[in-house]
Structure 1
Amino acid sequence: MPDMRGERGAGARRRCAADELAEGGGGVRFVVAVGGRPVSAFVVRFDGIAHGYLNQCAHVPMELDWQEGQFFESSGLYLMCATHGAIYAPDSGLCVGGPCRGASLSKLRIEERDGNVYWLPESPYEAPAG
C-alpha cells in the first residue's frame, strides 16, 4: 500500500479497485461527512476517468441511483436522478436537462493511482468519524 502521508495523497481514502468502475456502468457508493452529518456519495467512470459526487440531486437532495450503484441512464452517457429525471453530465456534474437545468451536483476530489480509486477529503466534505 502506498504511503498516503505525502502532499499529493494526504488523507486519501481508497474507495475501490479501478477495474470495479466500468465505463458508463455501475458506480461505487460511500459515505462522507458534511457538517458532521453522514451523506451518501459515489464514484463512476466516464471517458476513462473516475468522477465522484455527493449522491444528492441538485433539484431536491434525494439520492440519484435507481438501484444501488446505478447512476447512468440507459445510454451510459448521462447520470440521471431516478426521482426527478434530472440529467447530469458525468464529467462535470452540470444538470443539462430536467428541473434543475444549470445547477450542478457537488463534485468530490477523486484520484486514480496504483490500480485503485481514492477520494481525497477536503472541506466541506470530510471523512466520517469512526
Structure 2
Amino acid sequence: MAGNERMRLDGAILVCASGAVLEGGRGVRFDVRAFGDKATGFVVRYSGMAYAYLNRCAHVPIELDWAQGEFFESSGLYLMCSTHGAIYVPESGFCAGGPCKDGRLRPIGLLEEDGNIYWTPDEFIKPPAAGPTPHG
C-alpha cells in the first residue's frame, strides 16, 4: 500500500476513499512500521470524523479487531479489544474501561480531503518496507 502513486508530496499516504469508512462501521486497516516492527494501523469513523490508531491494545500489544476491520463493540459507541474487552473512546483513543484503564491507543496522524483519507508518518509510525503487503 506504500507505492509511490499513493504518497503525496507532503509525505501523507493514501489509506482509502472517504466513502470506504462508514459511520460506526467496519474500519480500514493499513500497513505501517511501528517502533521498527511490522504492524497495522486502522481508520474508523465516529460522529462524522475519521480517526486513526495503531492497531495495538494499550493493555497487551495485540491487534484489537475481532474480525478484520471490526473495531466497534455492539453498541457502536466504543472501540473494543477482542482479546481482553478493553473499551476505547473513538475520538481520543482513551481507555474507558477494562484492563488498560487510563491507557490510550497510539494515534496516527490523519488527513481527509478531496474524497480520500491519508495517514501521516511520524517519528515512530513509518511507512512499511517496500514490497508486497499482506492484506493489500
TM-score by length of structure 2 reads 0.88
Residue 56 (str. 1) matches residue 60 (str. 2): no
In the aligned structure 2, how far is the partner of 1:117 from the partner of 1:40? 16
Q: Aligned runs of 1:34-73 on 2, under 5 Å?
A: 34-73=34-73
- Alignment correspondent of 1:118: 118
Could you tell me which runs of 5 or more consecutive residues in structure 2 were left unpaired when the two chains were aligned. Answer: 131-136
In the aligned structure 2, how far is the partner of 1:95 from the partner of 1:108? 16
Q: Aligned runs of 1:1-130 on 2, under 5 Å?
A: 4-5=8-9, 10-130=10-130
Could you tell me which runs of 5 or more consecutive residues in structure 1 were left unpaired when the two chains were aligned. Answer: none
Aligned residues: CA RMSD: 1.3
Amino acid in structure 1 at the alignment position of 2:115: G
Amino acid in structure 1 at the alignment position of 2:105: L
Percent identical among aligned pairs is 54
Pairwise CA distance, 1:36: 2.8
Q: Aligned with 1:61: secondary structure?
A: coil
Amino acid in structure 2 at the alignment position of 1:33: R
Pairwise CA distance, 1:34: 2.0
Pairwise CA distance, 1:120: 0.8
Q: Runs of 4 or more off by more than 2 Å in structure 1?
A: none
Count how many residue pairs are aligned between Structure 1 and Structure 2.
125
Q: Aligned with 1:104: secondary structure?
A: coil
Amino acid in structure 2 at the alignment position of 1:58: A
Pairwise CA distance, 1:77: 0.8
Does the 8 Å CA contact 1:36/1:128 hold for their aligned counterparts? no
Q: Aligned with 2:19: secondary structure?
A: helix
Pairwise CA distance, 1:82: 0.5
Kindly provide the CA deviation profile for residues 4-48 of structure 1, in whole angstroms up to 9, marking residues without a partner as x.
32xxxx101000100111111100001111233111110100111
